[in-house]
């Protein structure tokens, strides 16, 4: 499937750009991602994660206002890292992920500014929903102690019971709500 950008304001130059390549086969790409996860376990003894990077940045922001508060708040303290919250392993992981995704996108002619949405919502509505969704997902990830990377993939691979509960809850919830969100996507 070609990536569909509903943004109608693509610059005229986009017409002469190379068409985006097809995505890779999902099973093979998944196996490759599994090897990255396996390597992460074999090297570090831990798996992948993403939410921790956001925690590190939040703790850093809090420390700008008050280092004492950032070091003592129970949720910030996890990322305090002796006063160097930005030297976070997960933050550097996501920095690498940003570069990896960019390189992949450039090679496949998929890097172009735009907003992803269905035809029945405006760009502004979609951006507001993206922010709101991110906020709610963050709360969920904080309570569950992980997200699709840190719980579903990482925990799933070692048959962590809590991770499997998380994964079932994520899919049950999203499928139950998909009908109500259909205007945003279809």
Question: Restricting to residues 88-147, which ones interact with another protein according to CB under 8 A?
Answer: 89-90, 92-105, 108, 110-119, 123, 126-147
Among 14, 17, 46, 122, binds another protein (CB under 8 A): 46
Size of the site for another protein (CB under 8 A): 131
Among 55, 63, 80, 85, binds another protein (CB under 8 A): 55
Q: At 160, give phi and psi (nearest 5°).
A: -70, 125
String of DSSP letters for 54-74: HHHHHHHHHHHH-HHHHHHSH
**What residues numbered 158-177 form the site for another protein, per CB under 8 A?**
158-177
CB 163 within 8 A of CB 155: yes
Q: Judged by CB under 8 A, does residue 71 bind another protein?
A: no
Among 14, 17, 61, 183, binds another protein (CB under 8 A): 61
Assign 113 to helix, strand or coil: coil
What are the residues whose beta carbons fall under 8 Å from the beta carbon of 122, sequence distance 6 or more? none
Q: Judged by CB under 8 A, does residue 67 bind another protein?
A: no
């Amino acid at each position: 499937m070609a990536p569909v950008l509903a943004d109608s304001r693509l610059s005229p130059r986009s017409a002469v750009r190379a068409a985006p390549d097809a995505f890779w086969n999902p099973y093979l790409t998944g196996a490759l991602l599994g090897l990255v996860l396996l390597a992460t376990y074999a090297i570090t003894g831990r798996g992948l994660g993403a939410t921790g990077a956001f925690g590190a940045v939040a703790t850093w922001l809090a420390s700008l206002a008050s280092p004492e508060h950032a070091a003592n708040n129970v949720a910030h303290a996890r990322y305090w890292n002796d006063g160097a919250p930005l030297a976070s392993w997960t933050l550097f992981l996501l920095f690498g992920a940003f570069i990896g995704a960019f390189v992949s996108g450039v090679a496949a002619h998929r890097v172009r500014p735009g907003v992803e949405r269905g035809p029945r919502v405006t760009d502004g509505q979609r951006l507001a929903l993206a922010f709101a969704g991110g906020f709610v997902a963050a709360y969920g990830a904080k309570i569950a102690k992980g997200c699709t990377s840190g719980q579903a993939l990482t925990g799933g691979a070692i048959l962590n019971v809590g991770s499997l509960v998380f994964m079932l809850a994520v899919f049950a919830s999203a499928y139950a709500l998909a009908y109500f969100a259909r205007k945003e996507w279809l």
